[in-house]
């Protein structure tokens, strides 16, 4: 189906909202919008962390669905960055602001008066949390509290999806998938910061937002390790490989036997969108937490993942692509699986792409980027449409 994409061009820079220019509609394949029943069309959607990996994909998806997106984040955390590659600064209301700046954040939220809010901004790198624990804790815990504080005075209905992580669970290294009712915890700083953010959201829910008929509806979303085109974050295994393989280098890997619920970035983002739509209609979901992960049989070790990706990248043998080093600089949990029955039964959500779909789309995106002459906005749009189809 061919529909029009309302591509608002808003180059605001800094904190201002001035300078929005209507560029006029573009014609494109718009089948993507059907999955959410046009729920986001014409809606005001605030995304924190829109300059990051997941935030750039979510912003792109929301724009495709005709939402007006306002983003709050620091500058893109990587170079290259998906945010810059897709020109998102000119396609949304772009605010560069530290979420620990409570008054600045509250002003943006109250001025924009969002219909939906997705909170993704975080210090999301495990290795960095070891190097600077206080910065990680203040961003992930106090920053989350500031987002909730900014919501409190709103009088108009706003549906907020607060994104934490699968690492918020107390990892007891068992073979079963974690359920939403399992204990939270975290032995490393990043995991603990996400568990603490969960506790803060839970407390705000009970203290200020327990009335689901009130203006604020909120829920928590926990997803696992996501992969996909456009991630260049430090110390993330796929990003490290893409950087190195583009230079014809091999990659040193730690924890080759670590098992993760790898999933394409569009999977949890689809879950967040589905949760937001359901939450807007169903007050009984107020304050609930949901896992969004791949099917259990799609868990793979780091070694298996890199073997598949390196083969699709064009390496004849994995030895040419990566080597295992034993001296891990810090400890990370070994086995982490999510049980996603709740999302399936209460939201009708389930992972759609299998492992091979996920890897194929990931490699295709990076190959197109490194080719240098591809339209990455179109490629990103096509992947979102393929996912929705
Ligand atoms: N990528 C994953 O595998 C994964 C897995 C589970 C959960 N998550 C969570 O999903 C969210 C997004 O992750 P990502 O992979 O896109 O991370 P990312 O590092 O690519 O992006 C982080 C975003 O947060 C912003 N940010 C960081 N500190 C900030 C601050 N003090 N003030 C304002 N903005 C700040 C950055 O500017 C960026 O926009 C995070 O909450 C992360 O913890 C990610």
Ligand 1 neighbours (beta carbon < 6 A): 49, 51-55, 73-74, 77, 98-100, 120-124, 139, 143, 163, 165, 223, 225-226, 233
For residue 163, report the distance from its CA to the centre of ligand 1, in Å.
9
- What pLDDT, on a 0 to 100 scale, did the predictor assign at position 122? 98
- What pLDDT, on a 0 to 100 scale, did the predictor assign at position 101? 98
What predicted TM-score, i.e. pTM, was given to this entire model?
A: 0.91
| Alpha carbon of residue 121 to chain centroid | 9
Query: Can you read off the two tokens belonging to residue 306?
Result: 């890199």
CA dihedral 297, 334, 254, 360 (to 10 degrees): 20
Name the residue at shortest CA distance from atom 12 of ligand 1: 120
User: 181: exposed, middle or buried (C-beta count within 10 Å: 0-12, 13-18, 19+)?
Assistant: exposed
For residue 3, report the distance from its CA to the centre of ligand 1, in Å.
32
For residue 319, report the distance from its CA to the centre of ligand 1, in Å.
32
Alpha helix segments (H runs only) across the chain: 53-64, 82-85, 102-112, 126-131, 133-137, 143-151, 189-208, 237-246, 266-281, 302-313, 318-321, 341-347, 355-371, 376-388
Counting every residue, how long is the chain? Answer: 389
Pocket test for ligand 1, best of 50, 52, 147, 233 (most atoms within 8 A of CB): 52
pLDDT, tens digit, 9 for 90 and up, residues 314-369: 999 999 999 988 655 555 555 678 999 999 999 999 999 999 999 999 999 999 99
Other Cβ atoms within 10 Å of 317 Cβ, number: 9
How far is the CA of 322 from the CAs of 178, 229, 264, 351, in angstroms?
31, 19, 22, 29
- What pLDDT, on a 0 to 100 scale, did the predictor assign at position 35? 62
Sign of CA dihedral 203, 208, 211, 213: negative
- What pLDDT, on a 0 to 100 scale, did the predictor assign at position 328? 58
Name the residue at shortest CA distance from atom 42 of ligand 1: 124
For residue 286, report the distance from its CA to the centre of ligand 1, in Å.
24
HEC secondary structure over 358-380? HHHHHHHHHHHHHHCCCCHHHHH
Angle at which helices 237-246 and 355-371 pack, to 10 degrees?
Answer: 40
Distance between CA atoms of residues 196 and 246, nearest Å: 38
What are the structural domains, with CATH classification, of the chain?
A: 2-224+262-299+338-357 (3.40.50.720)
Name the residue at shortest CA distance from atom 24 of ligand 1: 121
What residues have CB less than 8 Å from 376, skipping those under 6 apart?
A: 85, 86, 365, 368, 369
Tens-of-pLDDT digits for all 389 residues of the chain?
323 333 333 333 332 222 232 333 333 333 444 468 799 999 999 999 999 999 999 999 999 999 999 999 999 999 999 999 999 999 999 999 999 999 999 999 999 999 999 999 999 999 999 999 999 999 999 999 999 999 999 999 999 999 999 999 998 888 888 999 999 999 999 999 999 999 999 999 999 999 989 999 999 999 988 999 999 998 889 999 999 999 999 999 888 888 777 899 999 999 999 999 999 999 999 999 999 998 767 778 899 999 999 999 999 999 999 998 865 555 555 567 899 999 999 999 999 999 999 999 999 999 999 999 999 999 999 999 999 98
Query: Can you read off the two tokens belonging to residue 154?
Result: 């709103």
For residue 225, report the distance from its CA to the centre of ligand 1, in Å.
12
For residue 35, report the distance from its CA to the centre of ligand 1, in Å.
25
- What pLDDT, on a 0 to 100 scale, did the predictor assign at position 332? 54
Other Cβ atoms within 10 Å of 268 Cβ, number: 29
Ligand 1 atom closest to 121 (CA):
24
């Amino acid at each position: 189906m061919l529909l029009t994409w309302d591509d608002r061009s808003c180059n605001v820079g800094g904190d201002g909202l001035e300078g929005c220019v209507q560029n006029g509609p573009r014609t494109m394949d718009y089948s993507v919008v059907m999955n959410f029943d046009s729920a986001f069309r014409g809606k005001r959607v605030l995304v924190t962390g829109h300059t990051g990996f997941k935030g750039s994909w979510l912003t792109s998806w929301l724009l495709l669905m005709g939402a007006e997106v306002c983003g709050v984040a620091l500058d893109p955390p990587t170079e290259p960055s998906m945010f810059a590659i897709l020109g998102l600064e000119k396609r949304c209301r772009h605010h560069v602001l530290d979420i620990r700046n409570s008054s600045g954040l509250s002003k943006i939220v109250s001025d924009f008066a969002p219909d939906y809010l997705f909170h993704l901004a975080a210090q999301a790198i495990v290795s960095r949390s070891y190097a600077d624990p206080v910065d990680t804790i203040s961003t992930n815990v106090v920053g989350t509290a500031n987002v909730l504080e900014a919501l409190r005075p709103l009088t108009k209905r706003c549906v907020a999806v607060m994104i934490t992580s699968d690492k918020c669970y107390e990892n007891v290294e068992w073979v079963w998938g974690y359920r939403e009712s399992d204990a939270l915890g975290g032995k490393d700083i990043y995991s603990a910061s996400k568990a603490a953010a969960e506790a803060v959201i839970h407390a705000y829910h009970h203290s200020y937002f327990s009335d689901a008929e009130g203006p604020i509806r909120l829920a928590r979303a926990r997803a696992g390790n996501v992969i996909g085109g456009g991630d260049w974050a430090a110390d993330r295994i796929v990003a490290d490989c893409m950087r190195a393989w583009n230079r014809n280098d091999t990659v040193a890997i730690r924890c080759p036997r670590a098992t993760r619920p790898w999933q394409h970035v569009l999977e949890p983002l689809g879950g967040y969108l589905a949760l937001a739509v359901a939450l807007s209609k169903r007050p009984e979901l107020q304050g609930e937490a949901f896992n969004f992960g791949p099917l259990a049989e799609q868990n793979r070790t780091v070694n298996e993942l890199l073997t598949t990706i390196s083969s699709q990248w064009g390496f004849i043998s994995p030895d040419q692509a990566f080597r295992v080093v034993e001296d891990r600089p810090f400890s990370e949990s070994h086995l982490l699986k999510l049980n996603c029955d709740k999302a399936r039964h209460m939201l009708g959500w389930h992972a759609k792409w299998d492992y091979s779909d996920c890897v194929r789309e990931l490699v295709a995106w990076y190959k197109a980027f490194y080719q240098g002459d591809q339209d990455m906005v179109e490629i990103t749009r096509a992947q979102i449409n393929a996912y929705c189809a």
